[in-house]
Structure 1
Amino acid sequence: MVVEDEVIIALDLSETVRDMGFRVEGPYANNGHAFIAIDQEMPDFAILDVRTADGEVFPLADALTEAGVPIIFHSGHITDHEIAERYPNAQTAAKPCPPSKLMQMIAEANKRAH
């Protein structure tokens, strides 16, 4: 699952996930649409921007965490320390993140999902 409200970044993240052989849910620009999607099917892992078109992503991240879904926060608006306090098992990638680092994080999240 990709939740990102900046179109170019959302498309780039989605393409990276597809290039690694995964099916992409989204990208979703807001929490509302992402919540509808997880009501239908939980993703194996999620890449989430902290600020979305309809507010902060934390309610969605809480729901995904409760369901055991590995999360990668991809944002320029929050520090690794702030994420680690609230989501100790999540990974963080500051924007802009080199594709090679993001691919390593996706591979790690996929391992945790299985």
Structure 2
Amino acid sequence: MRGDRMSKLEGRLVLVVEDETLVAMLVEDTLLDAGARVLGPVATVAAALALVEKEVPDVAVLDLNLAGETSEPLADVLTKLGVPFVVASGYGQAGVPARYSGVPVLAKPYAPEELTAALGRLGN
């Protein structure tokens, strides 16, 4: 089963937006182990938007609260571009704005397998 989830991420470009360095490193390692290509990780909306202007990811994982800055403007851009994303939040579903109620949420802390499974279910 694990191999099946990993194959769904093989070669896919995943944008990682996370302001906690250790979490960002774990996410990056998990994605690389799953065969994904990683865009980032970055810790600010401005940095993420700059990356997306250069290369549009296949999927993304977003922390909504970046040291007090909301990543909602980035979520809006990804939505307009048709890029599916997962929200990683210490607040769980309660911390997600209503307009993103259909977006999968990973409540922190989450296991690496939960991340790869959630991303593997998004788009192609």
Unaligned runs of 5+ in 1: none
Counterpart contact for 2:64–2:72, Cα < 8 Å: yes
Partner of residue 68, structure 1 = 82
Partner of residue 103, structure 2 = 90
Q: Is the deviation greater in 99-108 or in 60-69?
A: 99-108
Partner of residue 24, structure 2 = 10
Q: Is the deviation greater in 82-91 or in 54-63?
A: 82-91
Identity between Structure 1 and Structure 2 (%): 36
TM-score normalised by structure 2 residue count: 0.81
Partner of residue 40, structure 1 = 54
Give the whole-Å Cα distance in 1 for the aligned partners of 2:28 and 2:102.
Answer: 22
Unaligned runs of 5+ in 2: 1-14
3-state SS of paired residue (1:48): strand
TM-score normalised by structure 1 residue count: 0.88
Structure of larger gyration radius: 2
Q: Which aligned runs of 4 or more in structure 1 are off by greater than 2 angstroms?
A: 81-85
- Cα RMSD of the aligned pairs, angstroms, is 1.6
